[in-house]
């Protein structure tokens, strides 16, 4: 809700209240003056022209509410555990956390007492009171209280004045803004605990982190807590074991996946589809080695800028790096012979297995691993082809995510502090990415300083069925590595010219994407991707032969079918098939033995009834083909 065009002089909070009087003021928790967020009690800066109310359920309002909830949490902990050291407590996506230095790490059993103390603060509507102190005085204030984490933060601040917020006897170092009082935090819940190194450095002390969430309304909180419980039910590690897809053996191979037959078939179907789709779009399939000499990684800049994420080994006195990415091999393949401008663009695709060092504490099933497969590709093109090639990659990305039912949003990550290449090359690369998005009329967010060390990039974040965001695709524009590897082509003028390289992965890590897809679909994969599309269930042993003949006929029609001939009751077999998320159940009993058909049931529990084998095959094939016809693609696994 905007209140624009008011000229407001420097004054106290009463002027702000007057400017936001009535409904606007009653429903807001903070204000924005010419774009800057302010507490409602703050003086309005002199010369302010535009004043807006920040509502409690707006994105900015929720962030303020959650940050304020973190302060309420810290106050409650300090009242219950007076010796607890307090460090930082920011708002995060969908919640907040606070890190504490305590002799015994917190556990969920502590939550009831902490939440009760937090509720007292909320019920009493304890006000947030801001004050500013010279840096020296603030340092003395926290030193006298023994708050060593706050004093360390203050010493690193390059400012003469710092702001503090008082909350009913608890004082925290904070930039703000905050709620007028704690009474606005009506819907909150503590969720989990974790260990966290101070300032993210494993050399520092491990602190005890409490995670929580807060919303403007109880209904929003209930929906969020339901999604959390649903996410636990859909956890890909749990479903991976239940569906017999994959597993992990952290004692012998931490951060690496053991694919079972069904899971491997799922991967093969996905890779087969992706390869065919790439070939249709003008890509060529290549493959590079797993090991390359250290000198090559030095030449590319990876050794100086990325080696902490790499593994190295020694062979006959030479140091080799195990590849964390595929681009170097692709450049060597391109550079094996002279190139003409007529040959460009060259598009190399590789499902390359890569290894990256991850700390054991961050490994998480398929979502964070040390060995994974990228649906990687590199496009080497002329500068005048760059925008069109970027658009082609975005189009492929769009088609794939629409196929899997993901919504997505895009961001452009710009030059980081640690980079290679010249500023001019970075500016040209960034401009090409932005121009391609502009031509497609796609909005994007700018992530300052988050680019790769060799070039800016477009990042794609998909939203799953539980409204969670995942980073998947990346499109990186690179003028620097072609220079370092002396890649060239002969132009129409007969002169040598430098090409540009686009690094891109659409699904990203196949392991990570499959983990996301398992949770997105709750393991009920689309029929075209399901490793087992149909299962034939027998009532008694005398129906076994008919079941085998049905299986043979379906397999001949290109359908992945299995039989369940166990000496178990039909109801047990049906339930087992539903638990395993098999799309189609084909029951064979005496009637079906006579007619030569089957009784068809679906994984959702619906009974379709008697069908011939030909009708079942046509039905399964039609459902398998439907997503591709809608998306203008054509695919059949064989």
Catalytic residue among 262, 278, 339, 378: 378
The active-site residue, picked from 94, 224, 374, 543, is 374
Q: Is 472 a catalytic residue?
A: no
Q: Cα(309)–Cα(159) distance, rounded to whole angstroms?
A: 35
Spatial distance between the Cα atoms of 396 and 403, rounded to a whole number of angstroms? 11
Q: Of residues 356, 368, 415, 603, which has the active-site annotation?
A: 356
- Establish whether 217 is a catalytic residue: no
| Cβ partners under 8 Å of residue 409, min gap 6 | 443, 444, 445, 460, 461, 463
Residue listed under structure tokens 């095959």 = 617
Residue with tokens 């070039």: 455
Q: How far apart are CA 525 and CA 513, in angstroms?
A: 13
Structure tokens at 147: 């708050």
Is residue 457 part of the annotated active site? The answer reads yes
User: Which residues have CB under 8 Å from 474's CB, separation 6+?
Assistant: 457, 458, 459, 460, 503, 504, 505, 508
Burial environment of residue 534 by CB neighbours within 10 A (0 to 12, 13 to 18, 19 or more): buried
* Annotation says 249 is catalytic: no
Q: Which of 178, 503, 573, 603 is catalytic?
A: 503
The three-point CA angle 229-231-234 to 5° equals 115
> Is 147 one of the annotated active-site residues of the chain?
no
CA–CA gap between residue 86 and residue 589 (Å, rounded)? 68
Pick from 501, 321, 325, 492: nearest CA to 428: 501
Residue in 327, 381, 460, 477 annotated catalytic:
327
Q: Comparing C-alpha atoms, which of 502, 388, 409, 488 is closest to residue 455?
A: 502
CA 174/CA 138 separation, integer angstroms: 11
- Which among 421, 422, 447 has a CA at the least distance from the CA of 434? 447
Residues 590, 571: contact at Cβ < 8 Å?
no
Whether 31 contacts 76, CB under 8 Å: no
Percent composition of the chain: helix, strand, coil (DSSP 3-state, to 5): 40, 30, 30
Burial zone of 49 (CB within 10 Å; 0-12 exposed, 13-18 middle, 19+ buried): exposed
If DSSP codes are grouped into helix, strand and coil, which group holds residue 276?
helix
Number of residues that make up the chain: 638
304 is catalytic: no
Question: Has 503 been annotated as catalytic?
Answer: yes
CA distance 110 to 190: 10
- Helix (H) / strand (E) containing 281: none
Q: Nearest to residue 437, comparing CAs of 463, 418, 411, 416?
A: 411
Would you state the structure tokens that stand for residue 78, as one six-digit string? 């300090």
Closest by alpha carbon to 346, among 289, 375, 389, 288? 389
Alpha-carbon distances, residue 284 vs 277, 287, 479, 616 (angstroms): 11, 10, 22, 37
Catalytic residue (choose from 147, 376, 459, 478): 376
What would the DSSP string read from start to end of 286-351?
----SEEEHHHHHHHTHHHHTGGG-EEEEETTEEEEEPS-SHHHHHHHHTTS--BGGG--EEEEEE
Active site residues: 327, 356, 374, 376, 378, 457, 503
């Amino acid at each position: 809700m905007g209140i624009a065009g008011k000229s407001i002089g420097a004054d106290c909070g009463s002027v702000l209240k007057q400017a936001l009087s009535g409904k606007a003021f009653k429903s807001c928790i903070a204000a924005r003056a010419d774009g800057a967020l302010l507490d409602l009690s703050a003086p309005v800066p002199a010369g302010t022209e535009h004043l807006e109310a920040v509502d409690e359920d707006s994105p900015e309002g929720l962030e303020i509410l959650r940050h304020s909830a973190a302060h309420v949490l810290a106050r409650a902990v300090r009242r219950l555990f007076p010796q607890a050291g307090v460090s930082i407590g920011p708002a995060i996506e969908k919640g907040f956390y606070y890190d504490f230095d305590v002799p015994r790490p917190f556990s969920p059993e502590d939550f009831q007492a902490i939440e009760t103390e937090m509720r007292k603060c909320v019920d009493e509507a304890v006000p947030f009171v801001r004050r500013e102190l010279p840096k020296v005085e603030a340092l003395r204030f926290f030193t006298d209280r023994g708050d060593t984490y706050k004093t360390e933060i203050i010493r690193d601040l390059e400012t003469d004045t710092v702001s503090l917020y008082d909350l009913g006897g608890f004082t925290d170092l904070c930039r703000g803004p905050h709620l007028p009082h704690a009474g606005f935090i009506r819907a909150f819940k503590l969720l989990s605990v974790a260990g966290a190194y101070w300032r993210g450095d494993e050399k520092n002390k491990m602190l005890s982190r409490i995670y929580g969430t807060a919303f403007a309304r109880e209904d929003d909180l209930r929906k969020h807590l339901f999604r959390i419980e649903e996410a636990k039910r859909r956890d890909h590690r749990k479903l991976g074991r239940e569906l017999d897809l994959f597993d992990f053996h952290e004692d012998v191979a931490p951060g690496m996946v053991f694919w079972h037959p069904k899971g491997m078939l799922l991967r093969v179907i996905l890779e087969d589809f992706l390869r065919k789709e790439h070939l249709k779009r003008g890509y060529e399939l290549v493959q590079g080695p797993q090991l390359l000499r250290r000198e090559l990684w030095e030449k590319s800049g990876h050794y100086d800028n990325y080696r902490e994420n790499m593994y190295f080994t020694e062979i006959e006195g030479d140091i080799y790096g195990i590849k964390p990415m595929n681009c170097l091999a692709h450049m060597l393949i391109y550079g094996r012979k002279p190139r003409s401008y007529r040959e460009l663009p060259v598009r190399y695709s590789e499902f390359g297995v890569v290894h990256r060092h991850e700390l054991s504490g961050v490994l998480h099933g398929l979502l964070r691993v040390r060995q994974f497969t990228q649906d990687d590709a590199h496009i080497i093109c002329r500068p005048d082809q760059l925008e069109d090639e970027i658009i082609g990659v975005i189009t492929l990305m769009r088609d794939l995510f629409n196929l899997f039912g993901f919504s997505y949003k895009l961001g452009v990550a710009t030059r980081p502090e640690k980079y290679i290449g010249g500023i001019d090359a970075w500016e040209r690369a960034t401009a090409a990415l932005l121009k391609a998005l502009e031509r497609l009329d796609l909005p994007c967010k700018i992530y300052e300083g988050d680019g790769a060390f060799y070039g800016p990039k477009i990042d794609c974040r998909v939203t799953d069925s539980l409204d969670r965001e995942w980073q998947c695709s990346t499109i990186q524009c690179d003028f620097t590595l072609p220079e370092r590897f002396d890649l060239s082509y002969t132009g129409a003028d007969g002169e040598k010219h430098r090409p540009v390289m686009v690094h891109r992965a659409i699904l990203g890590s196949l392991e990570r994407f499959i983990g996301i897809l398992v949770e997105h679909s709750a393991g009920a994969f689309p029929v075209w991707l399901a490793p087992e599309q149909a299962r034939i269930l027998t009532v008694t042993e005398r129906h076994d032969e008919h079941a085998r003949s049905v299986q043979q006929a379906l397999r001949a029609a290109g359908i992945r079918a299995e039989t369940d001939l166990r000496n178990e009751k039909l109801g047990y077999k049906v339930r087992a098939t539903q638990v395993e998320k098999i799309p189609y159940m084909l029951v064979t009993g005496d009637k079906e033995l006579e007619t030569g058909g089957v009784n068809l049931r679906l994984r959702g529990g619906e009974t379709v009834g008697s069908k011939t084998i030909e009708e079942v095959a046509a039905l399964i094939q039609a459902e398998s083909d439907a997503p591709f016809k809608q998306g203008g693609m054509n695919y059949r696994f064989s």
